[in-house]
Amino acid sequence: GAVVSQHPSRVICKSGTSVKIECRSLDFQATTMFWYRQFPKQSLMLMATSNEGSKATYEQGVEKDKFLINHASLTLSTLTVTSAHPEDSSFYICSAEGQAGGKREKLFFGSGTQLSVL
Amino acid sequence: GQQLNQSPQSMFIQEGEDVSMNCTSSSIFNTWLWYKQDPGEGPVLLIALYKAGELTSNGRLTAQFGITRKDSFLNISASIPSDVGIYFCAGQLTGTYKYIFGTGTRLKVLA
């Protein structure tokens, strides 16, 4: 299956700092990328949808100035958590959907980033 | 946020038993996906379904896209200890790019 690489896998930061998480599709072009947030023992909650070269679409209740998303190319999307606070601590997961060789790709996920804000 | 109803929430079964879980919604979906997630990892795709009524197998796993396009089920036959984990369904809403996830089924297999 297609590979989605997400870095870093774990980050610990001080309150007030910004953290950038990268998501790359390694063997296909991702026309659409999604960012999810997951709390312990809960399901994935969609935060935003991003299409290459356009502004991200945020879900209701997600602060766009807090969670900056940049989808600069067909293989890279970044999520920046600005001025992080302890309540932003969570597991963040990216996913990508796209086409490769004319065959429809499914939705593949990165391995996730565990953010801990002290 | 929006979520799909997934049941059961958790289940303990004996090794060798068959397992069944399902997701239902009041909305119509054009794609259903089933994932397994291990602790601290991202979800891994198990089966993808694109047509109403579609029945697809992947080894011991079988999933179906409901005729009404509002539900899907996943069956695991002859469960083994490594099947333990959390299983999620995900549906892509008709007319959108968005995928909505089920609430998850936590599976524990007793050897």
Q: pLDDT tens, A27-86?
A: 888 888 999 999 988 999 999 999 888 889 999 999 999 999 998 888 999 999 999 999
pLDDT category at B76 given cuts 50, 70, 90 is very high
First-to-last C-alpha distance (Å) of chain A? 37
> Contact B29/B92 with Cβ under 8 angstroms?
yes
Pick the closest to residue B61 from B50, B45, B37, B40 (CA basis).
B45
Candidate from A51, A60, A111 with C-beta closest to B42: A111
Q: Look at residue B68 in the predicted model and tell me its pLDDT.
A: 94
Q: Look at residue B9 in the predicted model and tell me its pLDDT.
A: 95
3-state secondary structure of B24: strand
Candidate from A43, A104, A114 with C-beta closest to B104: A43
- On average, the pLDDT of chain B sits at 92
CB-CB neighbors (< 8 A) of B98 in chain A: 34, 46, 49
> Contact A84/A13 with Cβ under 8 angstroms?
yes
> Contact B23/B72 with Cβ under 8 angstroms?
yes
> Residue B42 and residue A91: Cα distance in Å, rounded?
9
> Residue A34 and residue A24: Cα distance in Å, rounded?
12
SS3 content of chain A, % helix, strand, coil (to 5): 5, 60, 40
Q: pLDDT tens, B31-75?
A: 999 999 998 899 999 999 999 999 999 999 999 999 999 999 999
Question: Which residue, chain included where needed, has tokens 């356009």?
Answer: A54
- Asked if residue A100 has pLDDT above 60, the reply is no
Nearest CA in chain B to A47: B1
- On average, the pLDDT of chain A sits at 90
Structure tokens at A94: 């990216």
CB-CB neighbors (< 8 A) of A114 in chain B: 40
Share of chain A above pLDDT 90, in %: 69
Q: Look at residue A102 in the predicted model and tell me its pLDDT.
A: 52
- Asked if residue A117 has pLDDT above 60, the reply is yes
Q: Look at residue A105 in the predicted model and tell me its pLDDT.
A: 56
